[in-house]
Structure 1
């Protein structure tokens, strides 16, 4: 086996890897928005449930979350009379979405709270609703603050997609192991180097996209207060 044979085989599994990643990005972002909204507004009971969800997502190893999704969801859907519904790919999407949403919520909430309290008070004094305050005043500033952390969360997600092989999803990592086993593990180093390049490129693309939005949103950066001028009058 040479690189001309190995690389196309690995790239053939890349669409599934990207599909799992994009679903987790989109669903996780929606979950993070919902969880963050309840956590900052402190709605009784619901906010505590959101805190519990975020604690679970951040405290439990990702591979265990994937196992919980893979073995737990069939038991859950069977209560509604649904059988043979869950595949390894769907379980991977669900598990990574829950992980990404909980992790990202802990990026959004501090960013929202980091906006100067005067901005919140000004929006409240103008009679803005919570939605108007977030979209017009606080949100743009919070987005600028949250973008570096959001970029890190995307990179962590890309890394953790490699774990879906443990529940049987045929991603790039699983395909690489199949290729190595087929060739009696003779080309492990070459295969892992190709994998490293693939994941590094994915992370680089993610970083460039986030960096682009960071530069675009820099106009919403919170302005530092001007230093006070001290005038010393000499006594005559």
Structure 2
């Protein structure tokens, strides 16, 4: 584990300076700070075993995530892409851009059920509750075996689920790009239960399906006439 101790790299960053830290394998730290008064930027390179040193400004990177004019320090990663630090010249604030291509899980959003938005079809083929529930259960069981899991990102799956009777279900589940979702059968079912339990509520049967969507997830269950 890397531990931080009071050494010159920390003492150099006293007062009102606002650092961005980068841990090094030698258990030392590089950082960037800016002075709020005038936006002046300095980069501290802890070049062990060489002498640590300040460098004014830093390298300029162009065109990713912010204006190139605001980028004051950039570093190529092993993937050939760049991480960088951008400075707001008006406020002196710092934003660190960590290129997610070097680490697929970095900065990925996760589903927020409080943002669920339901849409009911309210037309078309009707289904008994047990059949629409069975179609969702079957889909979620199959999802647990999908080789792209158990952590899904930028994912879409759609399946046709036939039932006894002259109709079938189209069931779909999507995890948006920029998000990740770890499979849970119960959570999978909870998404489908939103249109199942919150649409066509006059009685338990006669379900016509619908969709639910939040910041990361889209789920659809739709009964259709025909086999």
Alignment TM-score > 0.5, same fold: no
Q: Which has the larger share of strand?
A: 2
TM bucket normalised to smaller: under 0.3
Higher normalized contact order (CA 8 Å, seq sep 6+, divided by chain length): 1
What TM-score comes out, normalization by structure 1 length?
0.21
